[in-house]
Structure 1
Amino acid sequence: MTTTAHTLEADGVRLYYEVRGEGPVLMVMGSPMAAADFGALAEAMAGEYTVVTHDPRGISGSVLADPEQDSTPELRAGDVVALLDAIGAETADVFGSSGGAVTGLALATLYPDRVRTLVAHEPPVLELLPDADEQRVMMDGIVETYQREGAMAAWQAFIEAFGTGGDDEEPPEEFPEKLLENSRRFFLHELRTTSGYVPDVAALRAGPARIVVGIGAESRPLMTYDTSTALSARLGVEPVEFPGEHVGFVDKTKEFAEVLRRVLRERVA
């Protein structure tokens, strides 16, 4: 499958994005996970869709004019609209995971006519939890850990806060330079704005976009299981189970893609 790489000048950022396949447009995105992290899923979906992946603003190949600008779900949603405009797509199906799911919620709220189906896979919308005040303090603590002890300690604190289903979730002993740069962006300019995002449930329910909330079959130990079930309850929809845990699209790509294709087809049926 041929992959073409592009850059786009958007609102204060030069976005890096990749396009694969042909057919209806499917945006696949994370935050802070970059295009490369979704390569396998994009390949699996490109037989039926034109799959667009990108590096979120300030991450990897997407360079900000102001490196100290915070990355908000609203700004990232605007970036997705700019990408749709660049490829000539009026609408798209959207798969967002984790912070990318929060971006998708902002997209469906601010630009509802651009989204056909949003699959929001495990969005960390901590403000929907009954102990949101405590979660906010915990996120502040993770940022402070980064400022005091650096990336490895902060990632360990992050993993402990959000939960883990196995021992393979330990952070690496050494980080390459790019991961260190991305970690700085995430902890100083993205973690709080993403986890603190409050979905406009009324707008999402009233809008034209179909909203699907995805939860990993093995994600029950994770905080994102709780946030996803809370969002599903607010929206009045049943969550859809996807294979694996929080990154099931990496660990169980084939099975994950099968479920995603089925979910997207249900809108057409």
Structure 2
Amino acid sequence: MGTKTVNKLAVPGATLHYEVTGSGPVLLLIAGGGTDAGIFDGIVGRLAADYTVVAYDPRGNSRSPYDGGAADERVDQSAEDALALLDAVGGDEPAYVFGSSSGAITGLELITRHPDRVRLLIAHEPPCVEVLPNPADHRAFFEQVYDTYRTDGVEAADVLFSRGIGTDEDEPPKPEDLYPEILEMFLRFQSNAANFYKHKLLPFTRYQPDLDALKAAAARIVPAAGVESIEHLPARPIHQIAETLGWPVVTFPGAHGGYASHPEPFATLLARVLETD
């Protein structure tokens, strides 16, 4: 896999933790929700043989603290964070980008704002429900999750959220069955949950992509979804976006987090997709 280097990057309002592994063209991995760079550990080794793989904790998550108090996030700010990382690692060269969930929304905004900096974007299940035919219903669901967090706390919000996005049937691993580093990662994710519900959930799910700008960059965007989650809510928007782009949705192993649950086949397919550039 090569040596992983751990770095910090100051951006307006936060300090980003990022990790670089391998050599070759830059491949930026953008985590979603309350996860962080560690969610991609299972696929980095396969990809680092051919790419300089950059994974990071999005602002407010884990080891990327806000400067001062937390505030509701902005998708444009998240895209500028991604750009700052590309500048720091690869200069002004266009980079490959893989984003999942809200990380895919960041990727869509990045290629919209800076199309010359993205060589190829794989957008895996961006939950931008505003593109769906009935956005009000889905908007109401996410608002209900937010309200549940405010009134009943993280655990109640987790139950409602996982049920609504189709992950409630996933059996969580028992803590005693996890390697210490994996347990540490899951504990980080748990500690991020409150900030996710409070400051990230609504700003990202209310994101309205610029479909005309995406269509102009269609040759460099790969719509993607998990084969086990393709009919669930987070994957539905990518079908609408794919129709606009004129491309089919590429199905990856596993569900919404297939890169973590099925790392080897996921990384193999991702490498193949990247090679199509």
TM-score normalised according to structure 1 size: 0.93
* Alpha-carbon distance in 2 for matches of 1:216, 1:27: 19
Q: Which residue of 1 aligns with 2:113?
A: 110
- Which residue of the other structure, out of 113, 120, 124, is the alignment partner of 1:121? 124
How many matched pairs?
265
Q: Which residue of 2 aligns with 1:26?
A: 27
Runs of 4+ with >6 A deviation: none
Please tell me the residue identity of whatever aligns with 2:3.
T
User: Is the CA contact (8 Å cut-off) linking 1:112 and 1:208 kept in structure 2?
Assistant: no
User: Is the CA contact (8 Å cut-off) linking 1:102 and 1:124 kept in structure 2?
Assistant: yes
Are 1:265 and 2:268 an aligned pair? no
User: Is the CA contact (8 Å cut-off) linking 1:156 and 1:171 kept in structure 2?
Assistant: no
Shift of 1:23: 0.5
* Alpha-carbon distance in 2 for matches of 1:178, 1:243: 25
Shift of 1:165: 7.3
**Could you report, residue by residue, the CA deviation over 1:12-31 in whole angstroms, capped at 9, with x for unpaired residues?**
11110000000110001112
What 5-or-longer segments of structure 2 have no aligned partner? 176-183
Identity of aligned residues (%): 39
* Alpha-carbon distance in 2 for matches of 1:168, 1:103: 28
Identify if the C-alpha distance between structure 1 residues 213 and 169 changes in structure 2 by more than 3 Å, giving closer, same or farther: farther
Q: Which residue of 2 aligns with 1:42?
A: 44
Residue 190 of structure 1 aligns to a residue in which SS?
Answer: helix
Please tell me the residue identity of whatever aligns with 2:195.
R
Q: Which residue of 1 aligns with 2:240?
A: 230
Identify if the C-alpha distance between structure 1 residues 250 and 178 changes in structure 2 by more than 3 Å, giving closer, same or farther: closer
Shift of 1:167: 4.1
* Alpha-carbon distance in 1 for matches of 2:173, 2:233: 17
Please tell me the residue identity of whatever aligns with 1:124.
P
Residue 107 of structure 2 aligns to a residue in which SS?
Answer: helix
Q: Which residue of 2 aligns with 1:143?
A: 146
After superposition, the CA RMSD in angstroms is 2.0
* Alpha-carbon distance in 2 for matches of 1:44, 1:22: 12
Please tell me the residue identity of whatever aligns with 1:10.
V
Residue 61 of structure 2 aligns to a residue in which SS?
Answer: coil
User: Is the CA contact (8 Å cut-off) linking 2:121 and 2:221 kept in structure 1?
Assistant: yes
Shift of 1:178: 4.0
Shift of 1:247: 0.9
What 5-or-longer segments of structure 1 have no aligned partner? none
Q: Which residue of 2 aligns with 1:55?
A: 57
Residue 61 of structure 1 aligns to a residue in which SS?
Answer: coil
Matches within 5 A, 1:235-254: 235-254=245-264
Residue 70 of structure 1 aligns to a residue in which SS?
Answer: coil
User: Is the CA contact (8 Å cut-off) linking 1:77 and 1:107 kept in structure 2?
Assistant: yes
User: Is the CA contact (8 Å cut-off) linking 2:215 and 2:244 kept in structure 1?
Assistant: no
Are 1:211 and 2:221 an aligned pair? yes
The more displaced of 87-96 and 103-112 is 87-96
User: Is the CA contact (8 Å cut-off) linking 1:116 and 1:209 kept in structure 2?
Assistant: no
Identify if the C-alpha distance between structure 1 residues 136 and 96 changes in structure 2 by more than 3 Å, giving closer, same or farther: same
TM-score normalised according to structure 2 size: 0.90
Q: Which residue of 2 aligns with 1:86?
A: 88
